[in-house]
Amino acid sequence: MKIDAHQHFWNYDPVRDAWIDDSMVRLRENFLPPDLEPLLSASGIDGCVAVQADQSEKETHFLLKLADENSFIKGVVGWIDLLDYGLENRLESFSQFPRLKGFRHLLQGENDSFFRDSRLVEGITRLKDHDFSYDILIYENQLSLALELVQSLPVMKLVIDHIAKPDIKNSSFDNWSRFMNMLSEFDHVHVKLSGMVTEADWKTQNADDLLPYLDHCFECFGAGRLMFGSDWPVCLLAAEYDEVAEIIENYVSSLSENEQELIMGKTAMDFYSL
């Protein structure tokens, strides 16, 4: 089974979605399951994992409702306040939803002190007790903070979204690759091969620009800890869905059949218990 391990849905709201600035006008519309399903089918993708874009429990319930109504949405990564003193009660409440697989916070927008807050570490640790995973969303310049965070966490399901958003447009590589190598030493850390086209030049990027980053991720983490994700609809800023899928399909085509199956679906299925 082929799985898109990272995509989003939303009903566009100009206030809530203020992060969609004038450079992203294509995203200023609704993106819902009927828009994605034919794209998945055309690319031979059997299902997807819907990931939060808004930091609210309302968002989590919105995605869970979509998953209940659409069988191709195999799992949901929602949002919860990990610093909330009532977190345990909230987790127990959310444990009733079988399609809810994990949580994410927009760490890319937080300062250093947030990463080092003991309540964050405690909150992520509590996810493990309920068999939830945690998606780590960061920029390349936050990799040292992410490493500190991972070092503080027990063996649990952790995945780095969008290969940690290296500045591909400006060919930033050495610092990124060094930290990714260090993170790969933690066997419970996985990586999503997603979000790369929007970190490259939106107008001139091509698959060759991404090759060094894909190679390094494969060398460090291996197929068993890598998973394909489209980051649709955000990817539309730089490439269509089929183009994003084709980049990864072409990359894995030279790998063994087992490695291809892992990256294109099995790793995500195992990680998220789909």
Q: What is the pLDDT of residues 265-274, one digit of tens each?
A: 999 999 999 9
Percentage of the chain modeled with pLDDT above 90: 97
**Residue 204 pLDDT:** 87
Whether residue 74 contacts residue 272, with contact meaning beta carbons closer than 8 Å, is answered with yes
Distance, in Å, from the CA atom of 193 to the CA atom of 213, rounded to the nearest integer, reads 9
Does 200 score more than 90 pLDDT? yes
- 107-164 pLDDT tens trace: 999 999 999 999 999 999 999 999 999 999 999 999 999 999 999 998 999 999 999 9
Strand partners, 31: 10
Q: Considering the domain boundaries, does residue 209 fall inside one? A: yes
CATH code where residue 25 lies: 3.20.20.140
* DSSP label at residue 27: G
Is 25 or 204 the better-scoring residue by pLDDT? 25
Average pLDDT, the chain: 97
Q: Considering the domain boundaries, does residue 22 fall inside one? A: yes
Q: Considering the domain boundaries, does residue 263 fall inside one? A: no
Span 17-34, average pLDDT:
95
Whether residue 235 contacts residue 198, with contact meaning beta carbons closer than 8 Å, is answered with yes
Q: How many CA atoms lie within 13 A of 197 on its CB side?
A: 25
Whether residue 77 contacts residue 101, with contact meaning beta carbons closer than 8 Å, is answered with yes
- 76-97 pLDDT tens trace: 999 999 999 999 999 999 999 9
Span 239-260, average pLDDT:
97
Q: Exposure of 47 by Cβ count < 10 A (0-12 exposed, 13-18 middle, 19+ buried)?
A: buried
> What is the pLDDT confidence band of residue 199, given thresholds at 50, 70 and 90?
very high
| 72: Cβ contacts below 8 Å, ≥ 6 apart | 33, 37, 40, 46, 47, 48
**Residue 263 pLDDT:** 98
| First-residue to last-residue Cα distance in the chain | 11
Span 12-41, average pLDDT:
96
**Residue 203 pLDDT:** 86
Q: Considering the domain boundaries, does residue 23 fall inside one? A: yes
Q: Considering the domain boundaries, does residue 267 fall inside one? A: no
Whether residue 115 contacts residue 123, with contact meaning beta carbons closer than 8 Å, is answered with no
Q: Considering the domain boundaries, does residue 266 fall inside one? A: no
Q: Considering the domain boundaries, does residue 100 fall inside one? A: yes
- Give, to the nearest 10 degrees, the angle between helix 87-94 and helix 118-129: 30
72: three-class secondary structure by DSSP: coil
Tally the domains of the chain: 1
Does 207 score more than 90 pLDDT? no
**Residue 53 pLDDT:** 97
Q: Considering the domain boundaries, does residue 261 fall inside one? A: no
Distance, in Å, from the CA atom of 199 to the CA atom of 205, rounded to the nearest integer, reads 9
Least confident of 86-95, 199-208, 240-249: 199-208
Span 233-250, average pLDDT:
97
Cα radius of gyration rounded to whole Å, the chain: 17
- 148-195 pLDDT tens trace: 999 999 899 999 999 999 999 999 999 999 999 999 999 999 999 999
| 253: Cβ contacts below 8 Å, ≥ 6 apart | 260
Supply the pTM of this predicted model.
Answer: 0.97
Q: Which domain holds residue 183?
A: 3-250
